[in-house]
Structure 1
Amino acid sequence: MDASEPSWRSIAILIGRIIFAAVFIMAVSFKFLGMGDTAGYIAAAGFPAPLLLAWLAAILECALAICFLTGAFFSEAALVAAAYVLFLAFAFHGPSHWAGNQAEFGFFVDHFSFIAGLLFAAVNGPGRLLAVSRTVIGRS
Structure 2
Amino acid sequence: MARTVAILVARLIFAALFAMAAAFKFAGMSDTTSYIAAAGFPFPLLLAWLAAFFELALVVAFLTGVFFSEAALLAGVYVIFLGFAFHGPDRWAGNEAEFGFFVDHFTFLAGLLYAAVHGPGERLAVRKGFLWRPEALPSSA
Aligned to 1:105: 99
Deviations 1:90-135 (A, max 9, x none): 0000001101111000000001000000000000000012100101
Unaligned runs of 5+ in 2: 137-141
Give 1:138 shift.
3.8
Query: What's the TM-score, normalizing by structure 2?
Result: 0.93
Q: Is contact 2:119–2:132 with CA below 8 Å preserved after alignment?
A: no
Q: Which fold has the larger relative contact order, with Cα–Cα distance below 8 Å and residues 6 or more apart in sequence?
A: 1
Counterpart CA distance in 2 for 1:42 and 1:99 is 20
Query: What's the TM-score, normalizing by structure 1?
Result: 0.94
Out of 9, 16, 26, which is 1:15 matched to?
9
Aligned to 1:61: 55
Give 1:11 shift.
0.8
Aligned to 2:116: 122
Label 1:120 to 1:26 Cα distance change in 2 as closer, same or farther (>3 A): same
Is it true that 1:79 corresponds to 2:65 in the alignment?
no
Structure 1 residue runs of 4+, over 4 Å off?
none
Q: How many residues align?
A: 134
Aligned to 2:131: 137
Q: Percent identity?
A: 67
Aligned to 2:21: 27
Q: Is contact 2:88–2:102 with CA below 8 Å preserved after alignment?
A: yes
